[in-house]
Structure 1
């Protein structure tokens, strides 16, 4: 008679592919939303960098006065510092007149025998000072400087950016909360169903005298590894998506923020490992405390 060979079931083993697929898919969707948030934040920062304040000087100022105002402004903390360079420019009235004549195509000074333009300082505002209230304080401070004629900025743009950013943040926050709850439930149910086939093996180990810690160990170890691997696979998929976007979408590389991407990828690996570990711990403890009748 031919012998029937049955595959031995190892403690802590369960369907690898289905569990890993569910974890990876859940983390990929979570990471995709996180990626959208990072892109939105980077885009908002780029837009906010265009918030500029213009400082018009009095006419007939001496060179020493202009240098004094220049040194004073460069020391201000609210001027945007981009990679060690202050976003700060000075345009003399002669340079402004030359630019204007290039655009218009005529020398307007011949008609009025004077240059009505003024020497101007223009600078971008640092992100920490981009609220309407703080910008108003900056304008008031600049107006008080001796030699300053007028200070202007696009107040409507500042208010519009801040209002829209608040609305988008609230919507994304609610969506992220719903998504996280969904992912937690999905991963928990996937692992619970995978461990369902192990319930009798767990009871058998208990009957031969294995401690709860000994039984839990292989399950928790595998769950941690599967969760971390799922996070790595999801991160690799997102990275590939980013690289593809850089090739087919012009200007997409401007939204590429390596620092936040690494934080996102690390968060996905941690989230996958933690949720898998916690869900497995919960399910194994459940079967450890079940009676034989309940297992059936």
Structure 2
């Protein structure tokens, strides 16, 4: 099988059905661009949510217990899988914090030393609201613990919003990909229809289905490469120039995982896969089942 022939025929197929190929490339471009934008914005929303979630702490207030009981409580807290960091705040430290936060007007109250000692817990950011709530219930039953407090409403609201965003974003992404895939499929189908007589002639002289399909698959890959490259360029222009210029207060959004090549590689790979999948789907079906078998 001549690689040069396959590649040449792949480009020829695009030239032969220019309008259909342009529509397919544009659809793939829009699909990959939207998914790239959605991914970058979604990553930043998730990062901000995790930063806020990291600030949510559990405050475990203690009764007036001795040092031995305090150490036992600390040990039980350390055995909790969700707890990542423990800070002990003594009664004197709590009074000092009260003075610092409320100013001179709270000095007399602080001197009464009525504030209880407590443990401040930093919880794993991957923990769900239900997990944190169950842990808070367990901790409140420890002997020597008065009560456990944390911002449950904020935690549940953030989790609900993130879940909603993930569902809507995932559903939108699937619809976009499906639409692009169908357009690639239809483009290759039109190209196969235009070459139906040549394909029948090739079959008569012994050409295999694999040999006949290869140029169409290359055509889909070329469409994917063009669409992916345009989408990547657009993402750079939008996030590195347009947003900082027109929405300066928003600033520059971070690249997923801190590096540009993760998103760029994913976008290009996705575009190539969509082009390959759509063209392979059409080529296998219409070469084998329709045009080759019919008179």
TM-score in terms of structure 1 length: 0.73
1:26 touches 1:186 (CA, 8 Å); kept in 2? no
**Residues 148 and 90 from structure 1, CA distance in 2 versus in 1: closer, same or farther, beyond 3 angstroms?**
same
> 1:95 & 1:246 partners in 2: Cα distance?
44
Query: Which residue of 2 is the match for residue 176 of structure 1?
Result: 173
Shift of residue 152, structure 1, vs aligned partner? 1.0
Judge which range, 236-245 or 43-52, deviates more.
236-245
Query: Which residue of 1 is the match for residue 48 of structure 2?
Result: 43
Shift of residue 138, structure 1, vs aligned partner? 1.2
User: 1:58-77 alignment to 2 at 5 Å?
Assistant: 58-59=63-64, 61-62=66-67, 64-77=68-81
> 2:262 & 2:78 partners in 1: Cα distance?
33
> 2:170 & 2:260 partners in 1: Cα distance?
19
> 2:118 & 2:255 partners in 1: Cα distance?
33
Shift of residue 291, structure 1, vs aligned partner? 6.8
> 2:81 & 2:251 partners in 1: Cα distance?
30
Give 5+ residue unaligned stretches, structure 2: 1-6, 16-20
SS in 2 for 1:14: helix
Shift of residue 246, structure 1, vs aligned partner? 7.5
SS in 2 for 1:129: coil
- Pair 1:146-2:143 in alignment: yes
**Residues 261 and 121 from structure 1, CA distance in 2 versus in 1: closer, same or farther, beyond 3 angstroms?**
farther
**Residues 25 and 216 from structure 1, CA distance in 2 versus in 1: closer, same or farther, beyond 3 angstroms?**
same
> 2:137 & 2:274 partners in 1: Cα distance?
52
2:129 touches 2:152 (CA, 8 Å); kept in 1? no
Shift of residue 271, structure 1, vs aligned partner? 3.1
1:22 touches 1:190 (CA, 8 Å); kept in 2? no
1:142 touches 1:148 (CA, 8 Å); kept in 2? yes
Query: Which residue of 2 is the match for residue 11 of structure 1?
Result: 9
Query: Which residue of 1 is the match for residue 278 of structure 2?
Result: 279
**Residues 105 and 36 from structure 1, CA distance in 2 versus in 1: closer, same or farther, beyond 3 angstroms?**
closer
> 1:109 & 1:10 partners in 2: Cα distance?
84
Shift of residue 200, structure 1, vs aligned partner? 4.7
Shift of residue 129, structure 1, vs aligned partner? 3.2
> 1:262 & 1:117 partners in 2: Cα distance?
52
SS in 2 for 1:118: coil
Shift of residue 114, structure 1, vs aligned partner? 1.4
User: 1:116-195 alignment to 2 at 5 Å?
Assistant: 116-132=114-130, 134-193=131-190
Query: Which residue of 2 is the match for residue 258 of structure 1?
Result: 257
**Residues 246 and 151 from structure 1, CA distance in 2 versus in 1: closer, same or farther, beyond 3 angstroms?**
farther
**Residues 145 and 237 from structure 1, CA distance in 2 versus in 1: closer, same or farther, beyond 3 angstroms?**
same
> 1:32 & 1:290 partners in 2: Cα distance?
40
Shift of residue 126, structure 1, vs aligned partner? 1.9
Query: Which residue of 1 is the match for residue 18 of structure 2?
Result: none
**Residues 106 and 10 from structure 1, CA distance in 2 versus in 1: closer, same or farther, beyond 3 angstroms?**
closer
1:27 touches 1:183 (CA, 8 Å); kept in 2? no
> 1:26 & 1:165 partners in 2: Cα distance?
23
* RMSD over equivalenced CA pairs, Å: 3.8
Shift of residue 263, structure 1, vs aligned partner? 6.1
> 2:38 & 2:110 partners in 1: Cα distance?
59
**Residues 50 and 117 from structure 1, CA distance in 2 versus in 1: closer, same or farther, beyond 3 angstroms?**
same
Query: Which residue of 1 is the match for residue 62 of structure 2?
Result: 57
1:20 touches 1:226 (CA, 8 Å); kept in 2? yes
Greater helix share, 1 or 2?
Answer: 2
Shift of residue 235, structure 1, vs aligned partner? 4.0
SS in 1 for 2:47: helix
Query: Which residue of 2 is the match for residue 29 of structure 1?
Result: 34
